[in-house]
Amino acid sequence: MTWQRITWLVLLPMLGVLHQAMGQTAPPPAGPADLQHAVAQALILNSDLGQYPLTVTMDSGSAVTLDGVLPNAQDRTEAENVAKAVPGVTQVTDHIVVDAAASLLTAGAAPPPDSLAVTQFRIQDALDSDLALIAVTASVYPQLVTLTGYVATAADKARAGELAQQNAAGVKVANAIAVSPANAPVQ
């Protein structure tokens, strides 16, 4: 996990607690990036969902898409409801995969090596360990891994695809990463 993601994982819960402690509610998000961060914060602060690898991407305007792996349908529904409750969100598209092995990761037990949750963690960890790929997100589905985000070069995009394929043997990888030096993370 990169220092930037760790920083957000640490700071977002503290910001929410600070707002609650001061008796204030957070202002509505000003733009798409703010809205994306607000939804991610709400999911992280949720006591049932904050421990799982969920990602939030903006579609158009104020529509968001949720990706990741959760252990049951109840948590999946809760994630949708949490996202819908964020002021400014008009639509939620749910691409969350339900895999019972996801709960084993947070319990410290060893999940089945071929579970979706293990694959999700393995691929994201490989991507996060490469500075050029920190703005790339892997979403794992049965028989498919999708890669989204931004990188600076075509070589970085190819590298992300290779890492995903190495960590998800036998699964098709759909590489939808945009090559955009302006949007890629600063190294």
One fold for 3-98 and 103-179: yes
Residue 81 vs residues 2, 36, 43, 88, 137: alpha-carbon distances, Å: 28, 15, 10, 14, 22
Name residue 136's beta-bridge partners: 149
Decide which of 106 and 86 is more confident: 86
- For domain 103-179, the CATH class is alpha beta
Q: What share of the chain in percent tops pLDDT 70? A: 73
Q: Where are the domains of the chain?
A: 3-98, 103-179
pLDDT digits (tens, 9 = 90+) for 37-48: 888 888 888 888
pLDDT digits (tens, 9 = 90+) for 143-159: 778 888 888 899 999 99
Q: What is the dihedral of CA 148, 124, 134, 35, to 10 degrees?
A: 60
pLDDT digits (tens, 9 = 90+) for 64-93: 989 888 888 999 999 999 999 999 999 999
- The most confident of 106-110, 122-126, 155-159, by mean pLDDT: 155-159
Residue 26 has pLDDT above 70, yes or no: no
CATH code of domain 3-98: 3.30.1340.30
